Structure 1
Amino acid sequence: MRIEFYRLGSTQADARLRAACQLARKGWQAGLPVFIRCQDGEEMQTIDELLWRFKAEAFVPHELAEDNPVAPVVIGENEPPAQSGGLLINLNRGVSPHIQYFSRIIELVSQDPERLQASRDNFRHYRQQGYQPKALDI
């Protein structure tokens, strides 16, 4: 399993969400089922709306997990993915309880102090589980 922490230079919440949309688009274009794991229902609605408008020339087919769990890009919270072997974009502060279903996990690290600490905790958790996460600047 490939686990990457993408470090953003911003503390802005919308920078994380825009990066998630771009990564979801790339994952979908690469043929991977994509699951965007949000912190809560409000974040799910925000990312749903942003996927419709983040790029005027780009369409990313997506749905909420409760509406269509096998959509190309699924937005959810703690549901297990309906399709295995895909990409998890984790916007949640904690590690997903379903990491075994994914072939790739991306954690987005903003410079907001609370999120930064949560990302550090997640990085340590993956290492303790025997994974070798990598950190990348984007």
Structure 2
Amino acid sequence: MTQALFYLMPPAATDAGPDPALTAMRLLACRLARQAYERQQLVYIHCQDKTAAFEIDELLWQFEPTAFVPHNLKGEGPLTGAPVEIGFDRLGPNKTRQLLINLADQAPAFAVNFGHIIDFVANDDSHKAVARERYKQYRNLGVALQTQDLATHPLNLV
């Protein structure tokens, strides 16, 4: 059975750009993708649209050289795909992957093809409402759901 973990984000810094909650979620998604890569897991980061996918791609390029995460946008890169693939279409990844990191507003129908899903709940009312809908969508897909409040149980990511 597919398992999803929703990270409840702590309040975002107000100096983190036009949408601090979204910026914090994207940065955490990249750090989690790096951690999964280090564990030799294949990752698919699902974005809302092409612009968001390019932003995630750029964030991953900004990691220190010692923290490089081999990645590519879906349809680019080697035929076998990089360990981390970034996409935004409704079809999902080109090959089987263990971890889905969802940054889209909807739970993708292909989510059930993964063993594990990571999703996020931003600490503001508009993002929370959208996350609640995704939570319901996952439940309707038969996904086992858990939450972790990062304000009280932070992650230890390098």
Q: What is the TM-score of this pair, normalised by structure 1?
A: 0.90
State the Cα distance separating 1:63 from its structure 2 match: 0.4
Matching of residue 81 in structure 1 with residue 55 in structure 2: no
Question: Max radius of gyration: which structure?
Answer: 2
Q: Deviations over 1:95-119 (max 9, x none)?
A: 1121122111000211232221111
Runs of 4+ residues deviating >6 angstroms: none
Identity of aligned residues (%): 34
SS at match of 1:116: helix
Q: Deviations over 1:2-59 (max 9, x none)?
A: 2110111134221111100111001111111100001111111111111011445310
SS at match of 1:35: strand
Task: State how far apart, in whole Å, the 2-side matches of 1:87 and 1:36 are.
Answer: 8
Greater Cα offset, 78-87 or 24-33: 78-87
Matching of residue 30 in structure 1 with residue 39 in structure 2: yes
SS at match of 1:121: helix
What letter is aligned with 1:102?
A: F
Q: Specify every segment of 5 or more residues in structure 1 that has no aligned partner in the other structure, as ranges.
A: none
Q: What is the TM-score of this pair, normalised by structure 2?
A: 0.80
Q: Report how many aligned residue pairs link the two structures.
A: 138
Match of 2:16 in 1: none
CA RMSD of aligned residues (A): 1.7
What letter is aligned with 1:59?
A: F
Match of 1:109 in 2: 121
